[in-house]
Structure 1
Amino acid sequence: MSNTIIEGMDFDMLFLVVNNGTGSRALQIAKKCGISGGTVFRGLGTASNSALKFFGLEDVKKEILIMAARKETAEEALDTLTEKLQLKKRNRGIAFTIPLANLLGNRNCVYNQDAHSRKVEDIMHQAIFTIVDRGQAEEVIDAAVAAGSQGGTVINARGSGSHETSRLFSMDIEPEKEVVLILTEQHTTDAVVASISNAMKIEQPGNGVLFTIDVSNTRGLF
């Protein structure tokens, strides 16, 4: 296996949020496009559809697939997944790519100290990631919707930090976390971030973490 990086090689992270049970099929499709593998997370999708809420179905099980590949490969996989999974139809899923500065663990990749992530031209959407204690994701979603968001995806996780670790029977306990992923149009991002920050008091130590990332390509948004 070669450990030399190809000059000028760009990499993307491909995110895919699909209905429960679709993740494995999506990964197989991506592999046929040249992506070596990915990681699948379980999550919940939140909908602002009033009919779904009336029947108590606003929370839908989701699978979140994260894959990294060369920019050209990721774009091919994005187009193929859009077609095969019919992402142009409502409620089939969403997908987006994010430029990466460095990628390790993939063939022909070494760490480049001078690397910088590519600038996204003509930014139309951004991804907002909010990490909070378990049970608080709904508050994050409510704050986002109040600022114009259509909902988001909640991923279960675990966290460890000076403000979060407690002790039980002389053992450190790492509380469960929830990661809330929200896609917004670029011009509404600031309002959504401000609403979440005010509701969750994010700037106070131990209350959570929030960050935004420019998105280069999106599919499945309506």
Structure 2
Amino acid sequence: MSHKSIKLAAAIVNRGAGNRAAAIFHTYNHEILLAVRGHGTASSAVMDCLGLDEPEKDLVLGLSSKTGADRLLRALGREMEFCKPGHGIAFTLSLTGISFAAMDILSRHEDQTGPNSRPAEHKEDIPMTNSHSYELIASVIHTDLSAPVMEAARKAGCQGGTLIKAREIGSDAGKKLFGMTLSQEKAILLILTPTSLRAPILKSICETVMKETGEHAVAISLPVDAVEGLTG
């Protein structure tokens, strides 16, 4: 198995549904798991942008082969009912490298036969296709900027977002990055969006941060291979 065939799968669901999502990850042999809590906000602007009634989120991550990741996304969409608004989303990202230990675990799972390998579901071996190309935008912002930044992203076409609390690590000497003054308490804003909306959303985030703080925003985008739970 090559690292080029390994995918990082992520599911963002309402708080409390993470265990159920993790069980589906396990069923489809995604054994390397990480669960992260996404902290929402009471701001109506943010809740409107997310399109969800419950602002608290669970983020579940796992690694698998491409075939396993495709099956997982279908299973998550079906069993978690991602077709219904507010039930969650899932997506996969390609990896450019992986440690030997992680590759060894995944290779052993690929060789397994048994109830968890789902051999009877041959129809799920068909590669996933998407009518839209998506990207994941990640931006580091001050926690008190979540409402104006999300509102700006919504006006630029944002259909989904999740805030994860973060904390700066480093010495006092490294308090600036690209002209942005860094404080310890931060939020990582994750937005899954069609590629066509990446540029306007990134622009809106950067302009809002500059307007509110006079500083530059730190934001990146990553190509997404497949998506479950989003339309448009």
Q: TM-score, normalised by structure 2?
A: 0.73
Query: Which amino acid counterpart does residue 87 of structure 2 have in structure 1?
Result: R
Distance 1:59 1:176 in 2: 23
Distance 1:122 1:93 in 2: 19
1:1-222 mapped onto 2 (5 Å cutoff)? 6-7=1-2, 10-44=5-39, 46-48=46-48, 60-104=55-99, 105-108=101-104, 124-161=133-170, 162-163=174-175, 175-201=184-210, 207-222=216-231
Query: Which amino acid counterpart does residue 175 of structure 2 have in structure 1?
Result: H
Count of aligned pairs: 194
Deviation of 1:151 (Å): 4.1
Seen in structure 2, the aligned counterparts of structure 1 residues 181 and 9 have a Cα distance that, compared at 3 Å, is closer
Distance 2:36 2:195 in 1: 26
SS of match in other structure, 2:104: coil
Alpha-carbon contact 1:164-1:174 (below 8 Å) kept: no
Distance 1:131 1:61 in 2: 19
Deviation of 1:152 (Å): 1.1
Alpha-carbon contact 1:133-1:175 (below 8 Å) kept: no
Distance 1:59 1:135 in 2: 19
Q: Deviations over 1:80-128 (max 9, x none)?
A: 111111111211101111111112251427xxxxxxxxxx997621111
Distance 1:205 1:69 in 2: 42
Alpha-carbon contact 1:163-1:205 (below 8 Å) kept: no
SS of match in other structure, 2:25: helix
Distance 2:38 2:3 in 1: 35
Seen in structure 2, the aligned counterparts of structure 1 residues 72 and 22 have a Cα distance that, compared at 3 Å, is same
Identity %: 25
Higher share in strand: 1
Higher share in helix: 2
Alpha-carbon contact 1:86-1:92 (below 8 Å) kept: yes
RMSD over aligned CA atoms reads 3.1
Query: Which amino acid counterpart does residue 102 of structure 2 have in structure 1?
Result: N
Distance 2:97 2:91 in 1: 18
Distance 1:197 1:82 in 2: 33
SS of match in other structure, 1:74: helix
Q: Deviations over 1:31-79 (max 9, x none)?
A: 1111113111111454327xx8xxxx86611111121222221111111
Residue of structure 1 in register with 2:119 after alignment? none
Q: TM-score, normalised by structure 1?
A: 0.76
Seen in structure 2, the aligned counterparts of structure 1 residues 7 and 18 have a Cα distance that, compared at 3 Å, is closer
Distance 2:54 2:80 in 1: 21
SS of match in other structure, 1:136: helix
Seen in structure 2, the aligned counterparts of structure 1 residues 24 and 8 have a Cα distance that, compared at 3 Å, is closer
Distance 2:81 2:32 in 1: 21
Unaligned runs of 5+ in 1: 1-5, 110-119, 166-172
Alpha-carbon contact 2:18-2:35 (below 8 Å) kept: yes
Alpha-carbon contact 1:141-1:151 (below 8 Å) kept: no
